Chains A and B, each alone.
Chain A
Amino acid sequence: MVLETEDLRVDYGHVRALRGVSLKVRRGSLVTLIGANGAGKSTTLKAIIGLVRPSGGRVFFENRDITGRPTHKLVAQGLSLVPEGRHIFPDLTVRENLKLGALLIRDRREEERRLAEVMEMFPRLGERLNQKGGTLSGGEQQMLAIARALMQKPKVLLLDEPSLGLAPNLVQLIFEKLEELKRGGATILLVEQNAYQALRIADYAYVLETGRIALEGPAKALAEDRRVIEHYLGG
């Protein structure tokens, strides 16, 4: 297991956002976490990467306890998050955004190589390298956010709602890119509301309901599960 949470709990004041979430991500697999709004999907990712402090439970990364460690240290160790709402730097150019992704790399040539890689994956960004991030369209911003995280060559890529607010053809594009990454051997933990797409490309899935894991299993099996179809696939 490259990433594992054990009975993870998070409280926001008196609101209990997570009530004991245990999930496992195997190296080279794409695991998805689906659920309704407010089920605690984003909170799970934030708790893993240290943006919120868990009130209980533990997080293991490469078999080391990383619970409550500061975000920037986890990023340096190989966890990357593409946050919900993209959070690109609007007043920095696309190139500068990507450069920040590679901030921890000291080797200039390595940085250039990764830049070439992500531009090959997202040619659209290559055309807009000197444009400010804030002037990109929503889909382009999402690509930039993913590309920026990929500049870090993460061991595990955490994605928070990458399809949120995008037109259907762009949603399709983003999921194609995720499949491409998966084929390239990336380890991904994907949080999605778009359960249909997520289950289609994932190996394993967890269904989160009010801060607890309600269901889990291979994605193929869950996609055929009656409860999942009723609640999440609009069956």
Chain B
Amino acid sequence: MIEGFYRAIARLPWWLRWSLAALILGVVVGFVGSVQAAQGEAGPGLLPQFLNHFINGLALGCIYALIALGFTMIYAVVELLQFAHADIFMLGSFGAYFALRWGISNLYLEGAVPLWAVVVMAALVGMAVAGLLGYLVEKLAYRPLRLRGAAPVAGLIAAIGLSIMLQNLANIFFSPDPRSFPPQSFVIYQLEVADTPDFQRPRRFRVVNQTAWQAPEELMGRDFYLRIKARSQRGESAFSPPVKVEGRESARFIRFGEEAQEGGLSIGFVSYSRRVDERGRQLLTISWEKPPLDAISFPELVPRTPLTLMGSGVDAVTVTPVQLIIFAGTLVLFLVLFILLYRTQLGIALRGVSQDPMAIKLMGVDADTIVSFTFVLVSASAGLAGVLWGLYLVQIFPLMGLFPGIKSIVAAVVGGMGNVPGAVVGGLTVGVLENLVKGFIADRYSPLADAIVFLLLILILLVKPSGLLGSPKVEKV
């Protein structure tokens, strides 16, 4: 499939290839270079600008590389362009989002784990969710096709269908609106209920991120004391003053004054009301005011303050902590991957499957197991990419896989489809080119930025038709 594409380019006559390449180069320089030369007067110098765009490009490129790894390895092992891989990337970030929202954040707010552990745990959950999805996708969608010996195009259509399905399921279940990542303004409230105003032996109820609470049945018709505790971001807690809930009263609104503040926080009012529902049951609802958001919103998982590498003022070359995390995460994942591929028997077998699936069976290995393993591995990598993407661009949404997906496929093609180091080189190339073009292009041409990036990638293929690290494949007999 992709080999045909490479061959088609290679088959162009050399003079056509090179003149097309020169033409593209001319167009790109015309759009990007000349305009910038006129602009660069009062702003930052050209070199710091270049370095900053380059660093941003490397960060983006790392994420592309993590996704492109999947396209390239799945293609190597089963000759399938796994379009839904981009959606596994998306679902990985949603997995981390919900894990943060439903559990991990609470662990931090309750002081059980430090902040860095929150980041690591979120990444691991994202990887696990994505890995599991990758396993299921292969098992349920692609394996049945493969075992029936379906034509390659059937797999491709299945992949596209799967991608559309996953996107729309995510739209239905998660809503198409972007969500901030990590989930913001998390507050844990603890309600303490006691019979006496000194709160000896209170009963505690926990409410996450809501400002209303339905009292359990045994509290109906009784007098009791109640106070509400919120946790601040530094881990200190604030109580509302005690409220006496009287069993006979139907509703009450209590506003507290300034003196109620404690630990910099205040819960300004508490109210309760009773009503009788349609089945005749009494309901007691207690609600309270949300403390000021900035006081107790969940802290940035990663600080935003950029670190200066060199220069100062407008000429500063900076890197943000998130970018450092992206570099570190990508580096660790690829190191582990290369050790696995080149130093373990499983890795050798995995490379073997891509070269000769029949012969691998003769080595006593179930080829299907290796294929499953590959899908889990690369999907987990896409999951990590999803979490890093969320941290980097601070929002996630169901269609977020679309553009990174396309660019990662292009990255894999440019690097040399089927070649693992090629995915890294291709990903970084696409990321860096994208940032440089977007950074230097004049504002009125900016809608053309992506087109120019793709032109540059075509240029690379015209010069080296088998991709940057690809070798022209020997035809299989």
Task: Give me the interface of A with B, judged by CB distance under 8 Å.
Answer: 49, 51, 70-72, 75-76, 80-81, 83, 85, 87-92, 96, 99-101, 103-104, 134, 148-149, 152
Minimum-distance CB pairs A-B, first 5:
A75-B364, A87-B359, A71-B361, A104-B364, A89-B355
* Distance A83 CA – B356 CA, assembled complex (angstroms): 12
* Distance A100 CA – B350 CA, assembled complex (angstroms): 10
A72's partner among B351, B356, B366 (CB-CB below 8 A) is B366
Supply 7 further A-B pairs (C-beta < 8 A) apart from A92-B355, A100-B349. Answer: A51-B358, A70-B361, A75-B362, A81-B362, A85-B477, A96-B351, A103-B345
Which residues of B from 42 to 75 have beta carbons under 8 Å from A? none
Chain B: interface secondary structure?
Answer: helix
* Distance A25 CA – B356 CA, assembled complex (angstroms): 29
Contacts of B348 in A (CB 8 A): 92, 96, 99-100, 103
Contacts of A101 in B (CB 8 A): 363
Chain A min CB distance to B144 (Å): 17
* Distance A110 CA – B356 CA, assembled complex (angstroms): 26
Chain A min CB distance to B369 (Å): 9
Which residues of B from 142 to 179 have beta carbons under 8 Å from A? none
Q: Does B451 contact A (CB under 8 A)?
A: no
Q: A51-B358, A83-B358, A134-B474 are in contact. Are A89 and B364 (CB under 8 A)?
A: no
Contact between chains at B355 and A83 (CB < 8 Å): no
Contact between chains at B365 and A103 (CB < 8 Å): yes
Q: What are 30 A-to-B residue pairs whose CB atoms are below 8 Å? A: A70-B361, A70-B366, A71-B361, A72-B365, A72-B366, A75-B363, A76-B364, A83-B359, A87-B358, A88-B356, A89-B351, A89-B352, A89-B359, A91-B351, A91-B355, A92-B348, A92-B352, A92-B355, A96-B348, A96-B351, A100-B348, A100-B349, A100-B352, A101-B363, A103-B349, A103-B363, A104-B363, A148-B363, A149-B362, A152-B363
Contacts of B367 in A (CB 8 A): 72
Q: Which residue of A lies closest to B348 (CB)?
A: A96
* Distance A99 CA – B344 CA, assembled complex (angstroms): 10
Contacts of B360 in A (CB 8 A): 100
Which of B362, B367, B477 has the most chain A CB atoms inside 10 A of its CB? B362
Contacts of A71 in B (CB 8 A): 361-362
Interface string of B332-362 (1 = CB under 8 A from A): 0000000000000100110110011011111
Q: Which residue of A lies closest to B476 (CB)?
A: A90
Which of A81, A91, A152 has the most chain B CB atoms inside 10 A of its CB? A91
